[in-house]
Structure 1
C-alpha cells in the first residue's frame, strides 16, 4: 500500500495497512448514479429530428464527463491514494493524488491516542483518531478511520511497548 516492504527498517514489521473508511465513497457513488441517470434522460429527451441534436448530445456527454470527474473520480482518487500504515516503529499517513505528502510519527514520540465516534460511526465501525505526539505538528486528527477501536488498541499497545523499552512485543 503506501509504505513498500523495502522501506521498512531492520526488525520493523507492518502491523496494519488501511485506507479511510468506505463511507467517504457513498456521496461520490450517488453522484455517479445521479449524473448517469440525468445524462441518459437528457439524451433520451433530445428530439432526434432537431437540427442541433448532435451538438446537444455532445454537450450532454461533455457536461456529464466533467461532473463525473469532479464529483466521483476525484473523490475516489483521493480515497484510494490516502493510506495509513502502522508498523512496530512508526505510524505513516500518506495523502495526495498528483503530489504526495507523507507524515511519519515515530511510535516513541506518541504521547496520547484517543478516538471519537458519533452514533452512525459506531454503527459503521469507524471514527476519528487523534494522535498527539512530541513532534513539530503536535496533534494529528485523522477522520474516518475504519475499525477505529482495533487501530487505537494496536497503536496504544505499540506505544506502551516502546515506553517499556520493548521492541516488537519482546
Structure 2
C-alpha cells in the first residue's frame, strides 16, 4: 500500500498497513445518493414542451450533477483511498495526497508516547484518534479515524518497547 516492499530497509518488515476508517466515506456516499436522486427528479420534471431548451436544461442538470459528484463524492473518495498508514518494525509512515504526495515518517526510536481517544460512536465502529508524540520536529502527530485503534496502538507500543529494550520482533 503506501510503502512498497522495495523501500523497506534490511531487516525491516511490515507490521500493519491500512487506510483511514471507512466512516469517512459515509458523507460522500450520502451526497452521491442525494445528487443522483435530485438530478434524476430534475431530468424527469423538465417538460418536453420546452423544445430545444429542454435539451439545454437536461445538459445543464447533468453538468451540475457531475460537478457536484466530483466535488462531494469522488474527491473525498480519492483522498481516503490515497491516505495510507504503514507500521513497520522501524517506522510509522503516514502518506497523503492525490496529485501531490506528502509522506511523514516517524522512526520508532523517536516515539515517546502513544495514546488513543474514542468517542462512543467510534467505540462502536472500532476506530478512533491516535496521538503519537515523538522527539522530532513536529513533536505530536494526531491521526484521526484510525481503524482497529486498539490493535494499532498495541502494535505501536509493542514496537516502541521492543526498540527501547534493544529487541527486534520480540527477540
2:143 & 2:170 partners in 1: Cα distance? Answer: 26
Q: Which residue of 1 aligns with 2:90?
A: 89
1:69 & 1:30 partners in 2: Cα distance? Answer: 13
2:89 & 2:48 partners in 1: Cα distance? Answer: 64
Q: Which residue of 2 aligns with 1:150?
A: 151
Q: Which residue of 1 aligns with 2:124?
A: 123
Give the match's secondary structure for 1:99: coil
Deviation at 1:36, TM superposition (A): 0.2
Q: Paired residues, what number?
A: 170
Give the match's secondary structure for 1:98: coil
- Specify every segment of 5 or more residues in structure 1 that has no aligned partner in the other structure, as ranges: none
Give the match's secondary structure for 1:49: helix
Q: Which residue of 1 aligns with 2:103?
A: 102
TM-score (norm 2): 0.99
Runs of 4+ in 1 over 3 A off after TM superposition: none
1:146 & 1:166 partners in 2: Cα distance? Answer: 27
Deviation at 1:168, TM superposition (A): 2.1
RMSD: 0.4
Deviation at 1:169, TM superposition (A): 1.6
Q: Which residue of 1 aligns with 2:166?
A: 165
Q: Which residue of 2 aligns with 1:61?
A: 62
Q: Which residue of 2 aligns with 1:21?
A: 21
2:163 & 2:48 partners in 1: Cα distance? Answer: 71
Whether 1:5 and 2:9 are equivalent positions in the alignment is no
Q: Which residue of 2 aligns with 1:78?
A: 79
Q: Aligned runs of 1:124-143 on 2, under 5 Å?
A: 124-143=125-144
Deviation at 1:48, TM superposition (A): 1.0
2:12 & 2:119 partners in 1: Cα distance? Answer: 34
1:42 & 1:64 partners in 2: Cα distance? Answer: 10
- Specify every segment of 5 or more residues in structure 2 that has no aligned partner in the other structure, as ranges: none
2:37 & 2:48 partners in 1: Cα distance? Answer: 19
Q: Which residue of 2 aligns with 1:30?
A: 30
1:102-134 CA-partner distances (Å, limit 9, x unpaired): 000000000000000000000000000000000
TM-score (norm 1): 0.99
